[in-house]
Amino acid sequence: MPNLTINGKPVSIDVDPQTPLIYVLRNDLALNGPKLGCARGQCGACTVHVDGKAARSCQVPVSSAVGKQVVTLEGLGTPARPHPLQTAFLAEQAAQCGYCTSGMIMQGAALLAEKPNPTESEVRAQMNANLCRCGTHPRIVRAILRAASGKA
């Protein structure tokens, strides 16, 4: 019965400790942000922060998140108090279908936390393992650079 801290709140879930975190977040905690994509750690749609670092929640057993701070898109910011990257994604209209968006924002926010003023090539390198099928990559890069510049 793992005890977790999700978006700052303690929660207790009665689940097999080997259960991938994504299922707990989405189905037990009704969080929509992290998306189930490939379930193989290849696409990044399920990206969340575990102790501030970007992590693929489809590859993290819930047991290994015990005692750590897990943050999803919902915990990153809200319409009333948006994270600068959420504001920047809206300003750049950096999505089409939006299925990869949560993972992109979480990966990008982790990058900005570590490196507040990345170059474009650093953004591309850090975002490279997050896939988008609609082809909105140029807008996503612009949104991250916009948030970094403080214009968002």
List contacts with another protein (CB under 8 A). Answer: 15-16, 19-20, 23, 26-27, 30-33, 35-40, 42-43, 45, 72-74, 77-79, 82, 86, 89-90, 93, 95-102, 105, 123-125, 127-141
Which CB, 68 or 82, lies closer to another protein? 82
Q: Are 144 and 108 in contact (CB under 8 A)?
A: yes
Minimum CB–partner distance for residue 5 and another protein (Å): 18
In the chain, alpha helices (H): 21-23, 73-76, 84-91, 101-114, 120-127, 137-149
Minimum CB–partner distance for residue 51 and another protein (Å): 20
Which CB, 11 or 129, lies closer to another protein? 129
Q: Are 76 and 106 in contact (CB under 8 A)?
A: yes
Minimum CB–partner distance for residue 66 and another protein (Å): 18
Which CB, 10 or 80, lies closer to another protein? 80
- How far apart CA 72 and CA 94 sit, in angstroms, is 19
The residues near 16 (Cβ < 8 Å, ≥ 6 apart) are none
